[in-house]
Amino acid sequence: MVPTRVLAGAAALLAAACVTAAPAAAAPLPSSLTLTATTDGHAPHVVELTCDPVAGNHPDAELACYQLAQVDGDIATMPGTEAHIFCPMIFQPITVTADGLWRGRPVTFQDKYTNSCERDNKTGNLFRF
């Protein structure tokens, strides 16, 4: 007959081995983008956005990173604003670009919108700076 203390010790060693054998959570791959918004006839506005952890000089980096995470960094598929806002018919073209990495994958995006309202309807908070 095996003593109870021996069984308890063996169970504790087995539990410790299982805990240490579990793979550690991998750190997120880099997510860092340079975002540019240029209204025709004006100097470009440029901000840096880093996610995981959130950093950079984007005015609402946390929301921008959250919105990017929702589409896994695919800016072309961003849902934009939750309730599409009726935009005034003001023609003030704005071009936006994004270059960098999303979780280790290269990101290159460029598009042109009639005005900043249309841009926000298409890209949410990402280019709102």
Domain extent at residue 48: 28-123
Distance CA 96, CA 125 (A): 12
Tell me if 64 is assigned to some domain.
yes
pLDDT over 90, % of the chain: 60
More confident residue, 85 or 121: 121
CATH code for the domain in which residue 102 is found: 3.30.350.10
Tell me if 23 is assigned to some domain.
no
Tell me if 14 is assigned to some domain.
no
Tell me if 10 is assigned to some domain.
no
Q: What is the mean pLDDT of residues 50-75?
A: 95
Neighbour count for residue 120 (Cβ, 10 Å):
19
Average pLDDT, the chain: 84
Distance CA 68, CA 101 (A): 12
- What's the pLDDT score for residue 98? 98
Tell me if 16 is assigned to some domain.
no
Distance CA 10, CA 28 (A): 36
Tell me if 11 is assigned to some domain.
no
The pLDDT confidence band at residue 83, using thresholds 50, 70 and 90, is low
Tell me if 7 is assigned to some domain.
no
What total number of domains does the chain contain?
Answer: 1
- Which pTM does this prediction carry? 0.75
